[in-house]
Structure 1
Amino acid sequence: MAPGITEMLIVGFAIGLTGALAPGPTLVAAINSTLKSGWRAGPLVTLGHAIAEIFMIVFVLTGLYVFLDEYSLLIVLTGGIALIVFGVLTVMDSKNVSVNLSGSSETAKNPVTAGIVTSASNPYFWIWWFTVGSALLLTAVSGGVIVFLAFIIGHWAADLGWFTLVSTGVHRGRFLLKQREYRILLTACGIFLIGFGIYFLISGMNL
């Protein structure tokens, strides 16, 4: 059964938000670039991150789409298991996670470049796209161009919203979420990943 437009838009946003919330080099890039470039650094870092993802999307579609019909069950099962694993890790990490507002002197000065470099150099980025990302992407493609675009728009909207929120907060001299609220939000995202992973596996059984 092909996914719907609204379904993939919501899934794209929720999954994208989970990835964006996770502390990592791209978040550091947004924070550090904000200290130098102001609140616009968030959207610019997101643009760089999106550019890196475009290459991954093209790679996944050109390298894996031809195997969609033959290996659809394997793709869905792999993606579902990966979602559950990432969800469990997210919940576990959320207990001690913190946001460092001091930035990093190693981040590239240009926010767009920083978004590209920190994304491409992050092992999590590659692992995610070769497991969860590829499975969700190919599922979206099976629903047609509009469904595929809905997934991508939702995914990037989450990145843009979160990194803009971070850069705006840092620019004003404070992080908009308290540590406890941030951890609760990250835990909720982890639980969503686990739940959607289970749903993904159940859906795969019906292929």
Structure 2
Amino acid sequence: MRIMIELIKPLVLGFTIGISAALVPGPMMLATVGISLEKGWRSGPFVFIGHSIVELTLILLIIGGISSLIGSSTITYMSIIGGIIMILFGLLILKSAKDISTMDIAGAARNTRIAKSPFLAGILTSVLNPTYVLWWLTAGSAIILQEYLVGTIAIVAFMAGHWIADFGYLLTVSLSTAKGKDFISRRNHKKVLYFCGILMMIFGIFFIFNYNNISTLI
């Protein structure tokens, strides 16, 4: 029973962070909309595959360096820095929610020509996004470090939740775009972003003050 709880926690955390990041109109979302307008709903899954390959590479690099960094002081510093970054990202999400009502997503997507291949677009919109890279170097690394202390299976659970959110959202975006519909109304998009931004900030606060035990997050 305890093992199940320990796995559900990173799964929920991964899903929450994944959907929070996905909902913010950024290069990957715009590329997905733009390519889906031309190539149909299958674009979303291929964008996800490219994106997940980059994330898997980053996670393996993080785990590979953990053995030489592990220690109580490392956990403290990484968790505090990660928590601060999560709070800042929460504020960024709140700002995005405020701007979403006036944003021309379809117009911006048509002008986003990162790559013709959705697979390549998933890679490029991840690698060339400084915000994305900063996230994994700070907050993302702190989360992986915390889950590493629980066990490799906890990292797998976290990434499963994260990728379920990414895949589900990108598939929804590509399906809706291909059918000429809004994947989410502006009003609901704004509400969900506000919720995610506040939740992200709460996670950041808990990371700062409860760095010794990731289980206190949820």
Write out the 4+ residue segments of structure 1 that deviate beyond 2 Å after TM superposition: 63-66, 102-105
Q: What is the percent sequence identity of the aligned residues?
A: 35
Structure 1 unaligned segments of length 5 or more: list them. Answer: none
CA contact (8 A) 2:15 2:161 kept: yes
Q: Among residues 20, 24, 27, which one is paired with 2:26 in the alignment?
A: 24
Moved more, 91-100 or 147-156: 91-100
Aligned to 2:168: 161
> 1:31: how far off?
0.6
Alignment of structure 1 residues 53-68 onto 2, 5 Å: 53-68=55-70
Could you say if the C-alpha distance between residues 206 and 41 of structure 1 is closer, same or farther in structure 2, counting changes exceeding 3 Å?
closer
- Code of the aligned partner of 1:74: Y
Aligned to 2:114: 107
Q: Among residues 159, 165, 179, which one is paired with 1:172 in the alignment?
A: 179
The alignment partner of 1:173 has SS state of coil
Supply the distance in 2 between the matched residues of 1:107 and 1:72 (Cα, whole angstroms). 37
Structure 2 unaligned segments of length 5 or more: list them. Answer: none
Supply the distance in 1 between the matched residues of 2:178 and 2:97 (Cα, whole angstroms). 25
CA contact (8 A) 1:32 1:107 kept: no
Supply the distance in 2 between the matched residues of 1:107 and 1:32 (Cα, whole angstroms). 10
TM, length-normalised to structure 2? 0.89
TM, length-normalised to structure 1? 0.93
Aligned to 2:91: 88
CA contact (8 A) 1:18 1:189 kept: yes
Aligned to 1:150: 157
1:77 to 2:84 alignment: no
Aligned to 2:125: 118
Could you say if the C-alpha distance between residues 46 and 82 of structure 1 is closer, same or farther in structure 2, counting changes exceeding 3 Å?
same
Aligned to 1:198: 205
Could you say if the C-alpha distance between residues 99 and 105 of structure 1 is closer, same or farther in structure 2, counting changes exceeding 3 Å?
closer
CA RMSD of aligned residues (A): 1.8
What do the CA deviations read for 1:31-80 (whole angstroms, capped 9, x no partner)?
Answer: 11111221111111011110111121122122344212241111111111
Moved more, 94-103 or 164-173: 94-103
What do the CA deviations read for 1:163-206 (whole angstroms, capped 9, x no partner)?
Answer: 11111110110112111111111111101101111111221267
Supply the distance in 1 between the matched residues of 2:112 and 2:81 (Cα, whole angstroms). 38
